[in-house]
Amino acid sequence: MSDAKPTCPQCSRKIMQSVSNRCMYCGASLPEEHHLTAEEKNQPLKEKLEMFKRNEENAEEIISGMRKGMGMPERKKPKQKKSDSAQRVEDALADNSNHLKS
C-alpha cells in the first residue's frame, strides 16, 4: 500500500514525526494520533545522555589504564563534577519536559 504513510491534513505532505506536533512544512497542527508522547520526544535526548555517560566512563577507564601502563599515579577527580556538555544535555532534557507540560 502506498498510502500507508500519514500525511498532513493541510498540505498533504508526509508527516515527519519529530519533537513538534506541527507539520514541518506548513506548520499546521497535526492530529493527535500523530503526536509523539513526551517520553518519545525525550527519547533521543535520553539516548544522547546515556551515550555520553558511557563515553565518559569509558574515557575514565581508558585514561586510568593508560596512566597505570605508564607507571603514573592515579589521578583523583572531584566526585560530582560534570562536564559542561553533560550538564547541557541534562538541561535540555529538563527544558523539554517543562515545555511539554505547559
Q: Which residues contact Zn ion by CB under 5 A?
A: 8, 10-11, 23, 25-26, 28
CB half-sphere exposure, 25, CA atoms < 13 A: 10
In the complex, least distance from residue 18 CB atom to Zn ion, rounded to whole angstroms: 13
Burial of 17 (0-12, 13-18, 19+ CB in 10 A): middle
Nearer to Zn ion, 11 or 38 (CB): 11
Nearer to Zn ion, 30 or 45 (CB): 30
Q: What is the spatial distance between Cα 82 and Cα 84, in angstroms, rounded to a whole number? A: 6
In the complex, least distance from residue 17 CB atom to Zn ion, rounded to whole angstroms: 13
